[in-house]
Structure 1
Amino acid sequence: MTQPLTRERFAAGLYDLRGRYWDTHPFHLRLHSGGCTPPELRRWVANRWYYQLCLTRKNAAIIANCPLPEVRRAWGERLPYQDGPSGDEGGLADWLVLGEAVGLDRAEVLDERHVARGVRFAVDGYLHFCQTRSWTEGVAAALTEMFSPDHMADRVTAWRTHYDWIAPTGYAYFEHRIPTARKDSARTLELVLDHCVTAHQQQAALAALTFKCEVLRAMLDAVDYGADR
């Protein structure tokens, strides 16, 4: 019978998946080095909108699958953060402002006309995963949050350096999200370490985080392939 990993080794195994994160994708390397054209950057923003739309639904799916009230209460805090108390506040509202800051009309973001098939397929697959797998797997998949704050901070620095045509108002999303992601990732890791205690649960959590990294990279594959088409 396979023995579970110690808490320390399990945490290290999750962190070791850092190399699969999408920050090493060729498109992101160009994006952060100043190598993207304005249409390419706009395409990234427009496609990432579809992922933003998915987040509240995937978080609600995790809550629906979880039998523990204390976990549901904690995870439920994510819902109003993304949707906001009104249409003018929250993660979705901030992303629409980012779209306008890079030169997209709000209507063309909202109607998803620029969303690539591959992005739609990857995001829908992620939502389906969270709807049909255990709540611990859904939470583990969200552990890409461990890798995202530094990546987003680097993005802001790079964009301000290389893309001075972006309106300053567009950075509100990242300014709000970076500190929240740092806090969320610590709490998410604790949940996974506390509740994935058998070898099977731990392996499922590692597979879930691997899957999420592949989802993110698949999104960039689609954006990169279609950027000049």
Structure 2
Amino acid sequence: MTGPVARPLTRERFAAALHDLRGRYWDTHPFHLRLHSGGCTPPELRRWVANRWYYQLCLTRKNAAIIANCPLPEVRREWSRRLAQQDGTADDRGGLADWLVLAEAVGLTREEVTDQRHVTRGVRFAVDGYLHFCQTRPWIEGVAAALTEMFSPDHMAQRVTAWREHYDWIDPAGYAYFEHRIPDARRDSARTLELVLDHSTGAARQQAALDALAFKCDVLRAMLDAVDYGADR
């Protein structure tokens, strides 16, 4: 699909238009291409992991914002699963705890990740902008922005395969985050798409959903710009 939504799209055409934004996802960014081809040095890979921590921290807050903005109890109950899924459990299993295991697996200490000393200004700006979007825009636009998870499961599976091949110095325990997240993302993305198709009715709302997903793709790519050029702290 090209151009703005001038008249309401059928459900099928709207779904196709959302999927057409696949080309804007961050897996085509030059840094990610290097990351998956074995072209990154250990410091570059660590910089990606350390900066991605700031994004991981944002996810529960943006999901809470979507819940707070949503007037539908059934949607709030469903979306609330994501809070524990992302934060993990009280006994440090899953979610953020898994990401810290990944950090240690690539040679970072937990302290240097959690104190955010490696997070660039560009990553902070992009992630904070995403959080602000979800806090201030209608709930269904926040949900639409989350549709990048349609594109992520295959990408994460490819990442694990590529890293095992090219970066054999990484402790295999670090892959737990991706191995846990992939099935969740496959399940969640299907339901997220259904919500967007159900609640983004009319040309204006469909355009807003497309714009939200495009914005999220831009956020992710802006993060990689900052990581790639890495000296803007």
Q: TM-score, normalised by structure 1?
A: 0.98
Distance in 2, Cα, partners of 1:76 & 1:43:
31
Within the alignment, does 1:93 sit opposite 2:97 as a pair?
yes
- 1:172 maps to amino acid: A
* CA apart distance, 1:228: 11
Show the counterpart of 1:171: 175
Q: Which string of whole-angstrom CA distances, capped at 9 and with x for unpartnered residues, describes residues 111-139 of structure 1? A: 00000000000000000000000001000
Residues 87-166 of structure 1: pairs in structure 2 closer than 5 A: 87-166=91-170
Give SS of 1:189's match: helix
Partner of 2:192: 188
Residue in structure 1 matched with residue 86 of structure 2 by the alignment: 82
Corresponding letter in the other structure for 2:171: A
The CA distance in 2 between the partners of 1:59 and 1:145, in whole Å, is: 14
SS for the counterpart of 1:112 is coil
Q: What residue in structure 1 maps to residue 55 of structure 2?
A: 51
Task: Give the counterpart letter for 2:42 in structure 1.
Answer: P
How far did 1:86 drift? Answer: 1.1
**Contact 2:144 2:196 (C-alpha < 8 Å) held by counterparts:** yes
Q: What's the C-alpha RMSD, in Å, of the aligned pairs?
A: 1.4
Distance 1:87-1:119 versus aligned 2 partners, 3 A rule: farther
In 2, the alpha carbon distance for the partners of 1:96 and 1:87 equals 14
Count of paired positions: 229
2: CA distance, partners of 1:191 / 1:141? 12
Picking from 66, 90, 96, the partner of 1:62 is 66
Encode CA deviations 1:26-76: one digit per residue, 9 max, x unaligned. 000000000000000000000000000000000000000000000000100
Report the CA distance between 1:84 and its aligned residue: 1.7
TM-superposed deviation, 1:85: 2.1
Moved over 4 A (4+): none
The answer for unaligned runs of 5 or more in structure 2 is: none
The separation in 1 between residues aligned to 2:43 and 2:94, in whole angstroms, is 26
Structure 1 counterpart of 2:29: 25
Structure 1: how far apart are the matches of 2:91 and 2:228? 30
Which of 211, 222, 225 is the aligned partner of 1:218? 222
Name whichever of 2-11 and 24-33 sits farther off: 2-11
- Given that residues 46 and 99 in structure 1 are in contact (C-alpha distance below 8 angstroms), is that contact kept between their aligned partners in structure 2? yes
How far residue 198 of structure 1 moved from its aligned partner, in angstroms, is 1.2
Identity %: 84
The answer to whether the 8 A contact 1:40-1:228 is kept is: no
Q: How far apart are 1:3 and its partner, in Å?
A: 2.5
Distance (Å, rounded) in 1 between the aligned partners of 2:160 and 2:7:
43
Where does 1:197-212 land on structure 2 (aligned, <5 Å)? Answer: 197-212=201-216
- Aligned partners of 1:143 and 1:2: how far apart in 2? 22
Compute the displacement of 1:227 (Å).
6.6
2: CA distance between counterparts of 1:225 and 1:84?
Answer: 31
Which stretch shows the higher mean deviation, 193-202 or 87-96?
87-96
Query: Which runs of no fewer than 5 residues in structure 1 stay unpaired?
Result: none
Q: Is the 1:56–1:79 Cα contact (8 Å) retained in structure 2?
A: yes
TM-score by length of 2: 0.96
Per the alignment, in what secondary structure is the counterpart of residue 197 of structure 1? coil
